[in-house]
Amino acid sequence: MEFNLNQNRSVIALLGAGSMGCAITKRIGANKTILLGDVNEKNLEERAKELRYGGYIVETCQVDALDQQSVRNFAQKAAGLGPVKYFIDTAGASPNQATPEHIVKLDLIATAVAIDEFSKVIVRGGAGLVISSQTGYMMSFPEDIEKQLALTPTDKLSELDFVKNEATANQGIAYIAAKRANHLRVQAAAATTWGAAGARINTISPGIIVTPLAYDEFEAAGEGYQKMIEASPARRVGTSEEIAAAGAFLLSDEASFITGTDLLIDGGVIASMKTGKFSLQ
C-alpha cells in the first residue's frame, strides 16, 4: 500500500541513525522522504522499520562516514529522491569507544567532509544540523589553531601538525578537539559554501544525554559523569526528545535568521565549569 501520494516531497538526510538523529527526524519528517545513512546495516533496518511503522516514508543507504566517496554517494542519493531540504549529521565515536586517531578521523575530518558534500546538494532555503558536544567548550585552543581548524581545506585537515600530534594525545583531548572543530567548521561553512547555496547550518552541543550507546560511556567513566550531574544546575541527564525539540527549531523556518552558531544544551555543566563549581580531572 502506498501511504503518501504527494509528489516532489522534501528530503531529510540523516547521517548516523542513532537515537538523537532519529528523534529529530520524527519531529520534522511528516510528508517528507527520510533517507537514513549508517555504516551498520542492521541498525539501518531497525531504525527504518520503527519510522515506517510510525507512518514515515523512509529510504536507507549504507554509508561509511570515513569514506568520502561513500558520503558523496549518500548525498547524491538524497538529491535523487527530491529536493534536499534538511541534513542532519550525528555520526561519531565517543572517547571510550575508539582510539584518539579514530575519533579525529570520524568526529573531526569526516564531519568536515559531510558538511562539504551536502553543501553541494542542499536546496535554497534548506538547513543543516551537526550534533556536536558540550566538550567543545571544555578546553581553549590558541587563536591560530582555531583559525586553522576553521579554514583549512578539508582535504588538508589531516596534515595539520595540531591534528596529527596534539589532537591525538589521548581520547579525551581528541574528542574535545573534534567537537570544537565541529563548531568552527560549521561557522565557516555558514559564511561560505552553505551561505552561497542559500542554506543555513548550525550545531547543537548536547550534554549528558541518555541513549543506548551512552551506557558504554557510563560503564567506563560513570564516576566522572555522576560528578557532572551533581554539579549541574539541572541536576539530571537530558533526553533525546529534548535535543529533538531544539533541533527541530533550528531546522525550521522559524530559525531562518540563525546560522553558523552552536546551541549548548547541557543542563548547565559548562556554566558550572566556568564558575569553578566543577572541573575536569
C-alpha cell at 120: 553541494
Q: Is 225 a catalytic residue?
A: no
* pLDDT, tens digit (0-9, with 9 covering 90-100), for 143-184: 999 999 999 999 999 999 999 999 999 999 999 999 999 999
The model's pTM is: 0.94
Q: What sign does the dihedral 153-155-159-163 (CA atoms) show?
A: positive
* pLDDT, tens digit (0-9, with 9 covering 90-100), for 92-129: 988 888 999 999 999 999 999 999 999 999 999 999 99
Helix count and strand count (H, E) for the chain:
12, 7
Edge-to-edge strands of the sheet including 57-62? 57-62, 33-38, 11-15, 84-89, 122-131, 200-206, 262-265
**First-to-last CA distance in the chain?**
56
- List Cβ neighbours of 149 (8 Å cut-off, separation of 6 or more): 141, 157, 160, 162, 177, 180, 181, 184, 185
* pLDDT, tens digit (0-9, with 9 covering 90-100), for 49-83: 999 999 999 999 999 999 999 999 999 999 999 99
Split at pLDDT 50, 70, 90, the class of 220 is low
C-alpha of 104 from chain center: 14
User: How many other CB atoms are there within 10 angstroms of residue 60's CB atom?
Assistant: 18
CA 230 – CA 228 distance, rounded (Å): 5
Cα dihedral 76, 92, 260, 200, rounded to 10, equals: 30
Q: Is 175 a catalytic residue?
A: yes
Q: Is 32 helix (H, G, I), strand (E, B) or coil?
A: coil
CA distances (Å), origin 136, targets 108, 159, 183, 206, 230: 11, 21, 8, 10, 20
What domains lie within the chain, and their CATH numbers? 11-274 (3.40.50.720)
Q: What percent of the chain has pLDDT over 90?
A: 85
Question: Catalytic: which of 77, 164, 175, 274?
Answer: 175
Weakest-pLDDT range from 21-30, 158-167, 246-255, 270-279: 270-279
Question: Catalytic: which of 179, 227, 274, 277?
Answer: 179
Task: Say yes or no to pLDDT of 218 above 90.
Answer: no
Give the mean pLDDT of 210-233. Answer: 81
CA 126 – CA 146 distance, rounded (Å): 27
**In terms of C-beta density within 10 A (0-12 exposed, 13-18 middle, 19 or more buried), how is residue 211 classed?**
middle
Phi, psi of 279 (to 5 degrees): -140, 150
Report the mean per-residue pLDDT for the chain: 94
